[in-house]
Structure 1
Amino acid sequence: MAEAANMTHVVLFKMPDTFDAVLAEAASTSKKLLEIPGVQTVQFGKTFTTERAQGWTHVLVVQFDSKESLPGYGPHPIHKAWADKFARPYMTEILGVDIDGLRYAKI
């Protein structure tokens, strides 16, 4: 089992059905977030567990090398461009949380 210190940024979105028209593009271009210093992994998609999602429709998970990388993420031009095109025009509600700690993985 592998162990690594990192920070995870989780954002939940409530998006209208009209967002489905750009979902594939939003998901595929989210990989550009990997170009932001400190970003290690990115995952974005639509939830398939709607019965317990309480109206949250989409999730963005970004893992960073450390919590010190987070302050540069929000104002970074790549993040701003993605959010301006795919999040802000569509979202009706947003919730973000960040956790810092050890991450375990099978390898």
Structure 2
Amino acid sequence: MLMTAFGGFMWLLFTAILVLAVVALVMAAVAREDAYRAASKQNKMFWLIILGVTVAVNLFVPMLFLQIAGLIATIVFFVDVRPAIREVTGGGRGGRGRRGSSSDGPYGPYNGGR
């Protein structure tokens, strides 16, 4: 019974890693090529290859160390590359392209009734 539960947990974990890699691959494919160059984050083809290999490894080569390497590449994309690309393209915060102040509310800046 314990081995069945462990097997189910590992299947769930590997499925989550695969979904994360597929989402990263789609996000990398949707981003503009010039945004990668402007953010100084390799180039679009590099990330498409890395993330595509990650998805292929997760689907067809169930070797744990390769899946962990792919997970690291996926995490690097989400933590480093994607925020830099969003910064360059003006994404986030409703697409306004600027950083909001700490006093911004949901409908614009709050100035305390002044």
Query: Normalised by the shorter chain, which TM-score bucket?
Result: under 0.3
* Structure-2-length-normalised TM-score: 0.25
* Structure-1-length-normalised TM-score: 0.26
Q: Of Structure 1 and Structure 2, which has the larger fraction of its residues in helix?
A: 2
Q: Give the number of the structure whose alpha-carbon radius of gyration is greater.
A: 2
- Higher RCO (C-alpha under 8 Å, 6+ residues apart): 1
